[in-house]
Amino acid sequence: MEKISVVGIIPARYASTRFPGKPLVMIGGKPMIQRVYERVSEVLDEVVVATDDERIFRVVEAFGGKVLMTSDDHPSGTDRCYEAYSKLNRIYDIVINIQGEEPFIHPSQLRTLIACFDAQEVDIATLVRKITPDDGIDFLRSPNHPKVVMNQRGNALLFSRSVIPFLRAVPEADYLRYEDFYAHIGMYAFRPDVLQEVVSLAPSRLEKAESLEQLRWLENGYTIRCGITTERSVGIDTPEDLQQLNLD
């Protein structure tokens, strides 16, 4: 069986309301964008940074990475990812949109995403992690940690910032004793034709309500397969997140 071809695209913009210049912050002596690039390259043969900023472009070139300039007016990383893919001179079987603020991404997570496409009906793949008692009820309640419910095939039925499913007649403090809850990890992989289609879709009703882009895809009938990982993600969204790393 011929090996499927996969490209990882890392959208990286300089402007950020909460953390300007985030891709270039130093972590253990390297820019964060370099750490992400190197981790992804452990699994994927083809990795590209998609940026709208010359400073990021020069840094990626300096460490020997592949980088493309993209528009500065994209509404989401998905749109930036598609523009970069459309500029590549090769057709791939799968395009992975990789978050540029996760310098400790686990190679196993990428392998789990890719394996989702063994099923031909899968349009999009993403990652989820079972919420454990160690996470605590506050993690489950937090709107900053979107949750997902899946069908028996592992396809997403709904994403929400609320606690789903709701357990009738069970005190919320006891939820994790009675049901499996899954947190969504915002990494996506697409079949290229699906990526082209989803960036042309108008924002949907549920997407606007929850501020979750993936609801637009569900509302338009795309199949999102959820790969289950046990690895915890460490995202750097704010300067405070960086300080908490406690790296030398």
pTM of the full structure: 0.92
Write out the chain in H/E/C secondary structure.
Answer: CCCCCEEEEEEECCCCCCCCCHHHCEECCEEHHHHHHHHHHCCCCEEEEEECCHHHHHHHHHCCCCEEECCCCCCCHHHHHHHHHHHCCCCCCEEEECCCCCCCCCHHHHHHHHHHHHCCCCCEEEEEEECCCCCCHHHHHCCCCCEEEECCCCEEEEEECCCCCCCCCCCHHHHHHHCCCEEEEEEEEECHHHHHHHCCCCCCHHHHHHCCCHHHHHHCCCCEEEEECCCCCCCCCCHHHHHCCCCC
Amino acid at 63: F
Residue-wise pLDDT for 142-187, tens only, equals: 998 999 999 999 999 999 999 999 999 999 999 999 999 999 998 9
pLDDT in tens, the chain (248 residues): 468 899 999 999 887 666 677 898 898 899 999 999 999 999 998 999 999 999 999 999 999 999 999 998 898 899 999 999 999 989 999 999 998 888 889 999 999 999 999 999 999 999 999 999 999 999 999 998 999 999 999 999 999 999 999 999 999 999 999 999 999 998 999 999 999 999 999 999 999 999 999 999 999 999 999 999 999 877 666 666 667 665 54
The per-residue pLDDT for 58 is 97
Joined together, the tokens standing for residue 68 give: 């493309």
Phi, psi dihedral angles at 11 (to 5 degrees): -65, 130
Burial class (CB in 10 A: 0-12, 13-18, 19+), 121: exposed
Which of these, 187, 199, 2, 189, lies nearest to 86 by C-alpha position?
Answer: 199
The per-residue pLDDT for 160 is 98
The per-residue pLDDT for 45 is 86
The per-residue pLDDT for 248 is 42
